[in-house]
């Protein structure tokens, strides 16, 4: 078992109607709020009006239009500008993980004199950040309970994950009813994203009985409940269970004491969505089973056997490679069954830039140090197998 | 699924040798330290000298002699007196859960002008508390990662659990090697305590796939690793896995979104150790299977079936009550197999005060609101079945 230094100070307020507590919570941080949100789905579900009404005693400035795969330019830059100009006390992020990731970059940038890109690329470490409160409307990224975010810079095809302990949200509101209106496409992509967060931690050299059971349960919960959500989008319990399993995704609690994995699928997918702006969860679902096939070996097979038996109930008496291959096929089939397009060409990616993307990943993601090391040629092979 | 409002801000620093970071961590809180500890085991394992050496640039005051089932008088009162008199900045608790529980009461009492008993009994809510850092030397209570403590007052036979958000340790150091010298008796009792923390959350009306899997994995981890620790007390991995499973015990993360249970075994055991000062984990192990038998009914059987199949691997094709009874027997036999005395008479408790204790529990622990409600006569029956 590995050592660790772990802290997640975020307060989670979970359940139907919890947003009523918003004024009391915001009051603890100040009166000047930057309200960040995306393309308007929060207006459609009435949440925008509810928030504005609840916060009528506060001074609210708005940054709308934050896109999926949130952009350094204009969103982060514009948010930082408003925070500095208006002397904002606290950021209120209302939306999914992209809005929150962008808000985290703004929170750090608001307290830094230079270019926020310095912080995102770790050229400079953040010394502080504005406090962040969020209302999550999509079960997927786990950004509501971690200190990280992912920001894209279009002109350089960069999609960078950055982390800083100042960036844990102070308070996250999670009301499963806000996810009732999430489309089938986004529900499935969110499920795949959250499942992949777990797989990125599960496939490692050294784990524990506790971590494995925790992650296997979370994977089963996500698969069972995603199907229920797709059948009945207003199934409260299913939406709630999905939301909680997603929340734990990236703060490390699924794998305290487990060994380093390198998060290879995220490393590869970041290139896909940086170059082609595809839906992150779909990119992950497409890559994951191909990555699994690629790394399956005498060294890695025992983890796939455990995964196959405990997550998919595959017969433990079969040959170990047969179990592993069945588990990989079951992974593929599950993603397919929830409606995810399972080929890169289905999401508009062809052969033309594969080598360029593989080179970008190999140079930037450190996957030569992953549990199953990936060099540029491995990455290109996985991309080609995904076409 | 139930709503919840959850936060655990404690930083966990886990692994071999982590105590080296102590000076840097303590420096963040101030220079005047109250060092709390128990009967001297920390001197035997060299930890006392190590801590004093690491903190030679700090001003240290000491409160030794904190007992298991820590006492309001003299320990809490004496600690509060020192904190006030010496203007202590931070408490450093070195030992097991009892030392830490006592330190929490001191931390709150130090910032309160009246009698600390007011805080413990919720007559007054704490407005603040001194920061607490701990080094844990026993895998058991989970006090290192929760906001609660249990304090005994001998003259009134009270043993009271109190909780307050100010009482989360700021930082908990967990080095599994400090538990190498824990006796077989205390290793087993710690395992039983931690297992019971999980059972107190598992047996409820409304749980989730995720929570159940998390708790079942933790129970299996505790059973497998406790046996390894008893066979080879210096098995680092086994000690480490036990330590982590214990740590999650009482901060609620095992059961976020699950329904209220009432923690009935703890309610009953508190009377046993208040009246007879027995080892808490042993008291819990003795009561637990008798409580299970007592509450087994058409209403509760499905949880016992799940527990039996998933934790003990009992054949799912058997009759539901047969599975439940086999699970309860397996629970008993596991505790017996790790050397716990499984009858109250083995720990010095006879018939004489059973009705008095049952009355005390019924009046003070609210077990009429537990998932399976317990009235005074039920409590007395469970105690008698445990004799």
B-chain residues near A3 (CB < 8 A): 14-16, 18
Type and span of the H or E element at A203: none
Task: Give every CB contact of residue B113 below 8 A, 6+ residues apart in sequence.
Answer: none
Q: Is the pLDDT of residue B157 over 90?
A: no
Length of chain B in terms of residues written = 387
ipTM: 0.96
Q: Are A88 and A130 in contact (CB under 8 A)?
A: yes
| Cβ neighbours of A219 in B, within 8 Å | none
Three-class secondary structure of residue A351 per DSSP:
helix
* Chain A residues close to B226, C-beta within 8 Å: none
Residues B168-203 pLDDT 10s: 999 999 999 999 999 999 999 999 999 999 999 999
Tell me how far apart the alpha carbons of residues B65 and B75 are, in angstroms, rounded to a whole number.
Answer: 8
Beta-carbon neighbour count of residue B331 at 10 Å? 24
Task: Give the residue on B whose Cα is nearest the Cα of A209.
Answer: B221
The reported pLDDT for the residue numbered B312 is 98
Specify the pLDDT at position A150. Answer: 93
Four-point Cα dihedral B42, B43, B44, B45, nearest 10:
50
**Element at A156 (helix H, strand E):** none
Across the interface, whether the CB atoms of A14 and B3 are under 8 A apart is answered yes
**A-chain residues within 8 Å CB-CB of B5?**
11-14, 18
Please check whether residue A379 is in contact with residue A270, taking contact to mean a CB–CB distance below 8 angstroms.
Answer: no
Q: How far apart are CA B14 and CA B135, in angstroms?
A: 10
- Residue A251: half-sphere exposure toward Cβ, Cα within 13 Å: 23
d(CA B323, CA B302): 10
Whole-Å CA distances, B356 to A262, B156, B160, B352 = 59, 12, 17, 9
For residue A53, with 0-12 CB atoms within 10 Å meaning exposed, 13-18 middle and 19 or more buried, which class applies? exposed
Percent of chain A with pLDDT over 70: 100
What does the alpha-carbon distance between residue A377 and residue A383 come to, in Å, rounded to a whole number?
10
- Most B CBs within 10 A among A177, A209, A216, hence the mutation to make, goes to A209
DSSP state of A139: S
β partners of residue B150: B161
Please calculate the CA angle B71-B74-B79 and round it to the nearest 5 degrees: 95
The predicted model scores a pTM of 0.96
Per-residue model confidence as pLDDT tens for chain A (387 residues):
999 999 999 999 999 999 999 999 999 999 999 999 999 899 999 999 999 999 999 999 999 999 998 999 999 999 999 999 999 999 999 999 999 999 999 999 999 999 999 999 999 999 999 999 999 999 999 999 999 999 999 888 888 989 999 999 999 999 999 999 999 999 999 999 999 999 999 999 999 999 999 999 999 999 999 999 999 999 999 999 999 999 999 999 999 999 999 999 999 999 999 999 999 999 999 999 999 999 999 999 999 999 999 999 999 999 999 999 999 999 999 999 999 999 999 999 999 999 999 999 999 999 999 999 999 999 999 999 999
Nearest CB neighbour to A257, from listed B217, B244, B253: B244
The pLDDT of residue A80: 98
What is the per-residue pLDDT across A131-142, written as a single tens digit (0 to 9) for each? 999 999 999 999
* Distance (Å, whole) CA A185 – CA A187: 6
Average pLDDT over chain B reads 97
DSSP letter at A87 equals T
Q: B214–A216: do the CB atoms touch at under 8 Å?
A: no
SS3 letters for chain B?
A: CCCEEEEEEEEEEECCCHHHHHHHHHHCCCCEEEEECCCCHHHHCCHHHHHHHHCCCCEEEEECCCCCCCEHHHHHHHHHHHHHHHCCCEEEEEECHHHHHHHHHHHHHCCCCCCHHHHHCCCCCCCCCCCEEEEECCCCCCHHHCCEEEEEEHHHCEEEEEECHHHCCCEEEECHHHHCCCCHHHHHHHHHHHHHHHHHHHCCCCCCHHHHHHHHHHHHHHHHHHHHHHHCCCCHHHHHHHHHHHHCCCCCHHHCCCCCCCCHHHHHHHHHHHHHCCCHHHHHHHHHHHHHHHHCCCCCHHHHHHHHHHHHCCCCCCCHHHHHHHHHHHHHHHHHHCCCCCCHHHHCCCHHHHHHHHHHHHHHCCHHHCCCCCCHHHHHHHHHHCC
Q: Which domains does chain B have, with CATH numbers?
A: 11-178 (3.40.50.1970), 182-385 (1.20.1090.10)
How would you classify the pairing of strands B171-174 and B132-136?
Answer: parallel
Helices B77-86 and B97-109 sit at what angle, rounded to 10 degrees?
50
What pLDDT, on the 0 to 100 scale, is given for residue A306?
A: 98
- Dist CA B202 CA B199 (whole Å): 5
CA–CA gap between residue A350 and residue A344 (Å, rounded): 7
- Residues paired with residue B283 on neighbouring β-strands, in sequence order: none
Whether the pLDDT of residue B6 is over 90: the answer is yes
* Residues 6+ positions from A363 with CB-CB distance below 8 Å: none
Q: Are B324 and B296 in contact (CB under 8 A)?
A: yes
Residue A56: alpha-carbon gap to chain centroid:
32
Please judge whether B7 and A2 are an interchain contact, meaning their C-beta atoms are less than 8 angstroms apart.
no
C-beta separation of B353 from B210 below 8 A: no
Angle (CA) A227-A147-A59 rounded to 5° is 95
Residue B1 to residue A240, Cβ atoms within 8 A: yes
Closest CA to B173 of B11, B8, B60: B11
pLDDT of A159: 87
Contacts of B3 in chain A (CB under 8 A): 14-16, 18
Largest CA distance in chain B: 66
Tell whether A28 is within 8 A of chain B (Cβ): no
The per-residue pLDDT for B382 is: 98
If we measure between CA atoms, which residue out of A192, A260, A202, A198 comes closest to residue A223?
A192
Q: How many angstroms separate the CA atoms of A83 and A37, rounded?
A: 15
Specify the higher pLDDT residue, A235 or B39.
A235
Query: 3-state DSSP call for residue A333?
Result: helix
Q: Is B181 on the interface with A (CB under 8 A)?
A: no
pLDDT over threshold 90, residue B155 = no
CB-nearest to B237 from A1, A237, A256 is A1
Q: pLDDT per residue over B81-119, tens digit each?
A: 999 999 999 999 999 999 999 999 999 999 999 999 999
Q: Which of B7, B14, B216 comes nearest A3 by C-beta? A: B14
Average pLDDT score over residue span B301-327: 98
Residue B157 to residue B353: CA distance in whole angstroms: 12
Predicted local confidence at residue B154, as pLDDT: 86
- Interface contact A220-B209, CB threshold 8 A: yes
Contact A18 B3 (CB under 8 A): yes
Report the pLDDT value the prediction gives residue A40, as an integer from 0 to 100.
86
Could you give the strand order of the β-sheet that contains B132-136, starting from the edge strand earlier in sequence?
A59-63, A32-36, A90-95, A132-136, A171-174, A4-14, B4-14, B171-174, B132-136, B90-95, B32-36, B59-63
Strand, helix or coil for residue A211: helix
CA distance A383 to A290: 8
229-288 in A: which are within 8 Å (CB) of B?
Answer: 236-237, 240-241, 244-245, 253, 256-257
Distance between CA atoms of residues B22 and A373, nearest Å: 36
Residue of A nearest to B254 (CA): A214
| Contact by Cβ (8 Å): B132, B103 | yes
- B217 interface with A at CB cutoff 8 Å: yes
Q: Quick check: A31 and A9 in contact, CB under 8 A?
A: no
Taking the C-alpha atoms of residue B42 and residue B51, their distance in angstroms, rounded to an integer, is 10
What's the pLDDT tens digit per position in B258-284? 999 999 999 999 999 999 999 999 999
The pLDDT value given to residue A269 = 96
């Amino acid at each position: 078992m590995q050592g660790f230094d772990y802290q997640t100070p975020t307060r989670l307020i979970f359940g139907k109607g919890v947003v009523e507590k918003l004024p009391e919570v915001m009051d603890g941080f100040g009166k000047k709020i930057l309200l960040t949100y995306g393309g308007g789905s929060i207006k459609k579900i009435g949440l925008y009006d509810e928030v504005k009404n609840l916060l009528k005693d506060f001074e609210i400035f708005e940054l709308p239009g934050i896109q999926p795969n949130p952009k350094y330019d204009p969103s982060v830059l514009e948010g930082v500008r408003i925070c500095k100009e208006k002397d904002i006390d606290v950021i209120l992020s209302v939306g999914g993980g992209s809005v929150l990731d962008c808000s985290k970059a703004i929170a750090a940038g608001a307290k830094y004199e230079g270019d926020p890109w310095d912080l995102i690329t770790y050229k400079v470490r953040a010394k502080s950040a504005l406090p962040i409160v969020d209302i999550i409307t999509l079960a997927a990224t786990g950004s509501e309970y971690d200190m990280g975010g992912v920001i894209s810079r279009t002109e350089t095809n960069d999609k960078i994950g950055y982390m800083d302990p100042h960036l844990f949200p102070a308070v996250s509101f999670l009301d499963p009813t806000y996810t009732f209106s999430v489309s089938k496409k986004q529900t499935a992509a969110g499920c795949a994203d959250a499942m992949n967060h777990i797989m990125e931690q599960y496939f490692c050299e050294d784990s524990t009985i506790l971590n494995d059971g925790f992650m296997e349960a979370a994977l089963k919960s996500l698969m069972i409940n995603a199907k229920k959500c797709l059948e009945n989008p207003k199934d409260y319990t299913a939406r709630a269970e999905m939301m909680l399993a997603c929340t734990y995704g990236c703060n490390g609690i699924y794998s305290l004491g487990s060994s380093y994995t390198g998060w290879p699928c995220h490393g590869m997918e970041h290139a896909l969505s940086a170059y082609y702006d595809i839906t992150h969860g779909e990119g992950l679902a497409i890559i994951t089973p191909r990555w699994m096939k690629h790394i399956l070996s005498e060294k890695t097979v025992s983890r796939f056997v455990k995964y196959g038996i405990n997550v998919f109930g595959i017969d433990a008496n079969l040959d170990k490679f047969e179990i592993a291959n069945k588990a990989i096929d079951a992974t593929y089939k599950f993603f397919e069954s929830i409606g995810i397009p399972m080929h890169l060409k289905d999401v508009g990616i062809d052969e033309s830039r594969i080598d360029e993307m593989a080179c970008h990943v190999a140079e930037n993601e450190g996957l030569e140090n992953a549990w199953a090391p990936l060099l540029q040629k491995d990455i290109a092979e996985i991309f080609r197998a995904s076409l």
